[in-house]
Chains A and B, each alone.
Chain A
Amino acid sequence: MDIDETNSSLRPMFCELGGITRADGSSIFSCGDTTVACAVYGPGEVRPNRESINKSSIEVAYRSRNGNSGLQDRKRELFLEKTCESGILAALHPRTAITINIQEMHDDGGLLSACVNSAFLSLLDACVSLRFLVAAVTCAVDNEGNLHLDPSKKEMKRASATLVFVFESRSHSIISSHTEGLVNQLKYQQCCAMAKSAAAKTLQFYRVVMNKKFSKDS
C-alpha cells in the first residue's frame, strides 16, 4: 500500500497552440511521450438532425493512429463529449455545433487524460466560452497494491486497475471519472487525492500556456 517515490510525479508536459491553422483553435499536447493533436471548430454550422434550439451541439470525433475505428474509440468519444458538455457554456450558442477532433499521435499511457487536457486547451485557443477549466489525470494500481501517478504504457499494462479523474478548476471537484479494473474504496480515495494535486499542477500549466500565447516573445 505504499506509494513509490519514482511514481509520484507528473511527466513533463508540453503544448503548442495553433499548430493546426485551419481550425478555430487547436493544440498539440504531450504529457511525457503521449502526444495528442486536437482541433476545435465552432460554434458553426450544425447538421439538421443534431440541431438543438436551446444550446450548441457538442460533437467529438476521435481517431486512433492505426486500424479502423472501433468500440474503444467510440467509448472515448462519449467520455470526452460528456466532459466537454459540462464545461462549455453551450446555451450561449443555440442551433450551432462545436466540433472537437482528436487525433492520437503517440500513446505512452494516460491517453484519455491527455485527450481531455488537449480538448480544453484547444477550446481555450478557440476562445469558446467555458464554465470552468478541467484537468484530467490518470492513476494506476498495480498487482502489489502500489499506486502510480501518470503511468506509462508499460505500467498501465501491468496494472490491475487504471483510474482517470477529471477535476474542474473552480472548486476542484470531480466532474468525470473512468475506472477500469477493480479497486476498493480506500485505494480509490488515495488515487483521488493524488490526482487532485496533480490536477492543480496541470491547471497551473494551462496558465503557462496561455501566458505564452499572449506574450510578445513569440
Chain B
Amino acid sequence: MRETPISTCEKGFLLEALWEGKRIDGRSTLETRDLDIVYGLDWGSVQVTLGKTRVLAQASCQVVEPTFTRPNEGILIINVELTSLAAPRFEGMRNSDDGVELGRLLERTLKESRCVDLESLCIVAEEKVWEVRLDIHVLNHEGNMFDAASIAGLCSLCHFRRPDVTLKGDVVTIHPLSDRDPVPLGIQHHPVTTTYGLFEYPGGETLFVIDPSRIEEEAILGKMVLGVNGYREMCTLHLAGQVVVDKTLILRLANITAEKSKKMVDTIKESLRKDEASRQSKGPRGFAAKIRSDSLLHASVPRSNFDFTRVVPLARSVVNSVKVPDTSKTASAKSEDGVVHVASEDMEQDKDNDSGDSDGSDMDSEPDVQVTGVMTKKQILESKVTEKIDLVDSDSEEEETVILDKV
C-alpha cells in the first residue's frame, strides 16, 4: 500500500526549525527517545521500544552440519522480516530496500564483528554445530528501525540459552531443558548502533540529529549509522544518502556514539540482570504481564470461571435431537447394461436439450426448458454411435483378438 509522502510545507517547516536548533518533537539534537526493553517468557525473546518504534527479536537454535569453509565454528543466521505490520509500504516483499539495508547492517554489526563466540558453538568438528537463528520482526516503524533492531538483536542474543551438550567419547547427548539448565551463548563484546540523520544548512554545512523520528527520516538527505561496542571499539560504519561528509564530522560522531554506546550497553546489562532477578523471584514475567502492569492504555479482565455442570446433559440432548439424514429415500435402479444409477426419488432422468447429458437433474426450477423426451443413459450412448464395427467376424489380420468388456 502506498504511503502519503511528506508535503513540501511540512518538510520546509521541519528544516527551518532544525536550522534554529529545534526539533519537531522537542528533543535536542543529541537526545534519543526513551528506550524500553521487555523480555518474554522464552529464552531469547525480547521486545524493544524506542519511542514508538517497536521491534521484536527471537533467537532459536538447532544442530546442523557446519559450513565447509569453517568446520569448527557454529553458524549465526540473522533474518529480518519487514512486513506491512511495520509500515504499509512493506508488502511482504523480502527484497525491499529497507529490509536489505537493515539485514546487512545487522549482519555487519552482530555477525562480522564476531560478538558471538562461534567456536564455542561447535559440538563435533566437521559434523555437528549449533546454528543460532535470530529473527527480527519490526512491529511498528516510527523512525530509526536500525537502532531498535540492533538493540533487540543484541538483547536477544545475550538473553538466549541453548541446551547443554555433553560429549562422552563418540556419543553426543543434548540434554533437554527439563534435564539440565540451558547454557548462555558466549558474547564477547556488545556492539550497539546509533543512527544520525544528516541535513544541510543553507550555507552547505552538515547538520546532524541523533535518532531521527519517522517524519525526520522522510526529510533527511543522508543517514550515518555508527556501531560502537562497550569498549569504545568501532564495529560498523554505514553512510547512505546524498550528503557530503567530511572526516571531522565522522570523528565527532564517533566520539558521541562511543559515549552513548557505553550507556546503552550498561542499560542492556541492567535489564538482563533485572530479568534474571524476576526469574529467580518468580515475579511477573513475559510480554503480557509486563505490558499489563506498565501500559496506561490497556483494558483487562481477570480470569473468568464457569459452571459447566449442566453441559453434559445439555450436550446429550443436542446429540439426540439432531435428525439423522434419511437414507431410505434413495432408489437404486439397475439398468440393463449392469451400471447402477443411484438417484433419489426426486430426481428424474430428464434429457437436457442442449448437452445431451443424462445426469439426473431436477428440471422443475427452470420452467423455460421443455422436456421433449425421456431417454435412458444407454439409449443416449447408442444414439451417439456413428458406425458399428464388428470385431468378432472381421477379417482382421491379428492372430489373437481380445475384446474388453465394457467397464
Instruction: List chain A positions with a Cβ less than 8 A from chain B.
Output: 1, 3, 8-23, 28, 30, 32-35, 37, 39, 41, 44-45, 61, 63, 65-68, 97, 99, 101-103, 105-106, 108, 149, 185-186, 189-190, 192-194, 197-198, 201, 204-205, 208-209, 211-213, 218
Q: Are A66 and B84 in contact (CB under 8 A)?
A: no
The one of A13, A22, A99 in contact with B300, judged by C-beta atoms closer than 8 angstroms, is A13
Q: A22-B86, A105-B47, A205-B301 are in contact. List 13 more A-B contacts (CB 8 A).
A: A3-B311, A9-B304, A10-B303, A19-B140, A19-B297, A21-B52, A39-B140, A99-B84, A149-B306, A186-B315, A193-B314, A201-B304, A208-B300
Known: A8-B307, A105-B40. A17 touches B287 (CB 8 A): no
- B312 near A16 with CB under 8 A, answer no
Question: Are A33's CB and B288's CB within 8 A?
Answer: yes
Q: Contact between B60 and A66 (Cβ–Cβ < 8 Å)? A: yes
Residues on B with beta carbons closer than 8 Å to the beta carbon of A204? 301
Task: State in angstroms the CA–CA spacing of A12 and B41 once bound together.
Answer: 17
With a cutoff of 8 Å between Cβ atoms, the chain B residues found around residue A66 in the complex are 58-60, 133, 135
In the complex, B56 has a CB within 8 A of chain A: yes
Q: What are 19 pairs between A and B in contact, CB < 8 Å?
A: A8-B307, A10-B306, A11-B303, A12-B302, A13-B300, A16-B291, A18-B297, A30-B287, A30-B288, A30-B291, A39-B84, A44-B1, A61-B83, A103-B137, A185-B319, A186-B316, A189-B319, A192-B315, A212-B298
A9 near B306 (CB under 8 angstroms)? Answer: yes
Q: Mark B276-311, 1 if CB is under 8 A from A, else 0.
A: 000000000011110110011111111111111001
In the complex, chain B residues 81-140 whose Cβ is within 8 Å of any chain A Cβ: 81, 83-88, 92, 133, 135, 137, 139-140
User: If the complex has contacts A8-B306, A99-B1, A101-B84, are A106 and B299 also in contact, measured as CB distance less than 8 A?
Assistant: no
Interfacial chain B residues near A105, Cβ < 8 Å: 40, 47, 56, 287
Contact B83 A63 (CB under 8 A): yes
A-B contact count (CB 8 A): 179
User: Is B72 among interface residues, defined by CB-CB distance under 8 A?
Assistant: no
Which of B2, B140, B286 contacts A22, CB < 8 Å? Answer: B140
On B, residues with C-beta under 8 Å from A are 1-2, 40-42, 45, 47, 52, 54, 56, 58-60, 79, 81, 83-88, 92, 133, 135, 137, 139-142, 286-289, 291-292, 295-308, 311-312, 314-316, 318-319, 322
Chain B residues with CB under 8 A of A12: 300-303
Chain B residues, Cβ within 8 Å of A9: 303-306
Flag if B84 contacts A41 (CB, 8 Å): yes
A197 & B56 in contact (Cβ 8 Å cutoff): no
- Is A61 in contact with B308, judged by CB distance below 8 angstroms? no
Residue from A9, A10, A65, A66 having most chain B Cβ neighbours under 10 A: A66
Residues of chain A with a CB closer than 8 A to B312's CB: 1, 3, 190
Tell me, rounded to whole Å, the shortest Cβ–Cβ distance linking A58 to chain B: 14
Choose from B42, B59, B316 the contact partner of A106 (Cβ within 8 Å): B42
Closest to B89 in A: A22
B86 to chain A: which residues have CB within 8 Å? 22
Question: Which residues of chain A are within 8 angstroms of B296 by Cβ–Cβ distance?
Answer: 218
**Who on chain B is nearest to A69 by CB?**
B81
Within 8 Å by CB of A209, from B52, B299, B303, lies B299
Does B133 lie within 8 Å of A10, measured CB to CB?
Answer: no
| Minimal Cβ-Cβ distance residue in A for B285 | A33
**Complex interface: chain A residues within 8 A of B83 (CB):** 61, 63, 101, 103
Task: Check A15–B314 contact: CB distance below 8 A.
Answer: no
Q: When the two chains form their complex, are residues B298 and A67 in contact, meaning their CB atoms are under 8 A apart?
A: no
